[in-house]
Each structure stands twice: as C-alpha cells, then as structure tokens.
Amino acid sequence: MKNVAVLGAGNVGQTMAADLALKNYRVRLYELPEFAERSLGNVLETHKIELTGSQLNFKWFRNEGVAEIDVVTTNMAEAIEGVELILISVPASGHQVFFEKMIPHLEDGQIVSLFPDNYGSLLLRRMLKDETKILVGGWTSAPYGTRMLAPGKIDCMVRAYRLRGDTLPSKDWTEFLRAHEDLPFFIPTKLEQADTVIAVGLENPNPIVHVPGSILNVGAMEVSQTEDVLGVGKGEWSLYKHGMSPAVVRVIEAYYNELCDIANSIGIKLLKYSKEQFYHKHTIMHESFLAPFYEASPIMGIKGPLSIEDRYFTEDIPVGTVMAWRLAKKFGVKTPLIESLIHLGSVICGRDFFEKGRTLEELGIVNLDAKDLVRYLKGS
C-alpha cells in the first residue's frame, strides 16, 4: 500500500496510475491546471481510469479493469506531500514548469523517477541546489507502448521488455532501483543500469529512431493526412510500420555511431547493438519492446507522427538530438549527420532548433571538463 504520485496525465501517466491502483497502490495523479480538462476530462470527477489492451510481454502479465485513483488533482502539494515515490511522465518541454511547481513541496527522502529522463535529472539537480535531500533518476523510455483512446480509457499494447536507467549521482542507483522493483509495470521488464544519466539520454531510442525516420518520411506522412499514399489509408500513417526501409535504417545506425563517438569522448559507454538489431523490421526499438511470437514489436500499430508538430519532431529534435550535438561541440566530436538532421528539422518545422534546444547551461554542466563531468555524474 505504498503512496505513489504520478505527475502528468497523458498516455503514460494515466496508464501508470491505473496500473498501480489496480494493484492496491494509493495513487495521486496530478496534471497542470491548464491541461487537466483536456487530458483528464471526466476523470477529474469520477477518479476512474479503465486499463485495457493486449499488454503483450514474455511473462504474460496482465493488469486490466477499472481503476479507482485515490486523488486526482491540479494541486501539486496535494499530489506529492507525504508520498514515497514520485513518477514523472511528461514531455521534456514540460520538465521546467513541473519542477518549479514540485520543488517547494519536496520532502527529504523522497524519490523522483523520470519516464523518460531526457536529461531531466540533470535539470532537476541544478534547480534543487542540494536544498532537499532526495533521490533523482530516470529511464531511457516509458514502460509501455500505450495510447489513450479517450480520457480515462487506455489501450496498453505492450509492456517494455528492457529498460535502462541511472541516478544522479550513479552511486544512488541501488537504493533507487529497490524502490521500483515491485511496481507492476516493471514485473515483465529487464532493468539495467546505464553508464550515467548522460548515457540514459543518449541511449533513449526515441530520438535515434524518430528523428531520422520522421525527417526522411515527412513527405509521405504529410500527404497521408489528406489522401491514401502507397496503400496507406488517409490518417493511418505509422512510422514504425511504413517508414523503416533499409535506407532509413542506415541513417539511424549512422546516427547511433555518432552518439557512441560522443560518449567515448566523455569517457562513458553506451549500449552496443549488432547490425542485425538495427536492421530488424522494427530497428532497435524492438530491443525495448520485444514481445512473444512477434517478429516485429506490437507498437508498430501505433500511428504517427501525424504532423510536424508531433513530439517525434518537436521534442526528439530539440531535446535528444540538439543535446547530443551540444555535447559533441563541447568535447570536440564531429557529428555531421546529427547536425544535418537538426538543420533539416528546423527548416521542416519552421523554427531554429539550435536556438530552442536544451542547453548545457540549463543542466549545470557547461563548465565541466570530461573528468569533472564523469565525477559529477557518478558521485565519486
């Protein structure tokens, strides 16, 4: 009967809240006031979320039904005061505002966990200024392939097969992991420690797959919103299903190789993939969302991106890709492909992602050389 707060009431946040409540956790679900009516709808009054879907995983774990959430609120103090574990699942663009609202109410000993981290643990540590003694860490991805059919009705297609994470500093990992191991969404999932939260950010598969895939398929994606394209029905575009050609995957593999060069320049290691893993039907995303009897991951059924305002463009470029580029510049690594993708994305989306992306100053690491950065990340 652990008290858990879930901050953010989108696809993953509502899935988490229902998943936990159905296993008798006391759950408090928070959303920003300006988004609550749109994302939560009647859940604000009923406190009920229906969890459905195939939930494919190798342990055949299934958790479904109508969950009753203890607290559904737009009041941050009500959401987190007295809870042991705070789970945050919001776009990286929302980290700052969520942290600003959360920090005044944090209590010593609480644990904050980010899904995905997207360098948010670094931002939170800088904003905290060591005034509150908490554990902070994050993960490479969300624990589900899931979609909201309507506020309060969730279709969870697959549970994560493998997730990697770390804490800031890394020396807190064992205690951090212990607080997560009995959570229902981790029952079928292999949990692994990455080599610092910088590695967690660089290994996040979303920018690696989404950015090259979305940019190289933008024409077909846009046309598919108004008419059938190459057998894809109007509004039915799926990057995972329709956009993963061998040529696109060659770009994804080259992108990841540049990320590995960046990590090596810092003195950290990234997860190694074989060529076969890249050229699987679902590329390296398959490694996180592998499911029984499926040659390709079930998340291939997820539609999107459906516009250039989708998070595949507006989050994965300015956060994941731009941060990699900034780290490359700082440590003298040439990343022509990553830089080209940012330029192309900026033209496609009509904004300068080099200017809008997350910065090293925001994360508090701009003045650290490689040795000092690793020392700060690991806490040694």
Burial class (CB in 10 A: 0-12, 13-18, 19+), 73: buried
Let me know whether 238 and 275 are in one domain: yes
Between the two ends of the chain, the Cα-to-Cα distance in Å is 35
Please count the other Cβ atoms lying within 10 Å of the Cβ belonging to residue 343: 13
Q: Which of 47-51, 155-159, 201-205, 208-212 has the lowest mean pLDDT?
A: 155-159
Let me know whether 133 and 248 are in one domain: no
Let me know whether 219 and 181 are in one domain: no
- The number of distinct structural domains making up the chain is 2
Is residue 86 one of the residues assigned to a domain? yes
Contact 63, 24 (CB under 8 A): no
Mean pLDDT of the chain: 93
pLDDT tens per residue, range 76-97: 999 999 999 999 999 999 999 9
DSSP 170: G
Burial class (CB in 10 A: 0-12, 13-18, 19+), 307: middle
Q: Is the pLDDT of residue 194 over 90?
A: yes
Calpha distance 284→274 (Å, rounded): 9
Calpha distance 15→317 (Å, rounded): 25
Last residue of a domain, one of 155, 187, 219: 187
pLDDT tens per residue, range 20-30: 999 999 999 99
Please count the other Cβ atoms lying within 10 Å of the Cβ belonging to residue 24: 10
* Tokens found for residue 181: 């191991």
Res 36: pLDDT: 96
Res 293: pLDDT: 58
Would you place residue 297 in the very low, low, confident or very high pLDDT band (cuts 50, 70, 90)? low
3-class secondary structure per residue, 82-146 = CCCEEEECCCHHHHHHHHHHHHHHCCCCCEEEECCCCCHHHHHHHHHCCCCCCEEEEECCCCEEE
Calpha distance 163→75 (Å, rounded): 31
| Residue 144, beta-bridge partner list | 159
Is residue 174 one of the residues assigned to a domain? yes
Is residue 197 one of the residues assigned to a domain? no
Calpha distance 116→175 (Å, rounded): 19
Nearest to 303 by CA among 221, 205, 188: 221
Last residue of a domain, one of 158, 187, 216: 187
Q: What type of residue is 244?
A: M
DSSP 229: B
Last residue of a domain, one of 157, 187, 217: 187
Three-state SS at 276: helix
Let me know whether 90 and 180 are in one domain: yes
Q: Which stretches does DSSP call E strand in 318-370?
A: none
Q: Which of 65-69, 157-161, 263-267 has the lowest mean pLDDT?
A: 157-161
CA 356, 357, 358: angle at the middle one, nearest 5? 125
pLDDT tens per residue, range 233-251: 888 888 888 888 999 999 9
Mean per-residue pLDDT, 293-305: 66
Is residue 192 one of the residues assigned to a domain? no
Let me know whether 261 and 352 are in one domain: yes
Contact 220, 227 (CB under 8 A): no
Res 299: pLDDT: 62
Q: The domain spanning residue 224 has which CATH number?
A: 1.10.1040.10
Q: How many CA atoms within 13 Å lie on the side-chain side of 287?
A: 21
Higher pLDDT, residue 299 or 21: 21
Let me know whether 281 and 348 are in one domain: yes
Let me know whether 155 and 231 are in one domain: no
Q: Is the pLDDT of residue 282 over 80?
A: no
Mean per-residue pLDDT, 44-65: 94
* Tokens found for residue 94: 């929302």
Give the β-pairing of 48-52 and 65-68: antiparallel
Let me know whether 33 and 176 are in one domain: yes
Q: The domain spanning residue 8 has which CATH number?
A: 3.40.50.720
Mean per-residue pLDDT, 105-114: 96
Domain hosting residue 167, numbered range: 3-187
Would you place residue 225 in the very low, low, confident or very high pLDDT band (cuts 50, 70, 90)? confident
Sign of the Cα torsion 197, 82, 18, 30 reads negative
Let me know whether 181 and 228 are in one domain: no
Let me know whether 29 and 109 are in one domain: yes
Sign of the Cα torsion 296, 319, 174, 1 reads negative
Q: Is the pLDDT of residue 196 over 90?
A: yes
Let me know whether 136 and 226 are in one domain: no
Let me know whether 180 and 223 are in one domain: no
Res 240: pLDDT: 85
Contact 156, 145 (CB under 8 A): yes
Is residue 195 one of the residues assigned to a domain? no
Calpha distance 62→205 (Å, rounded): 25
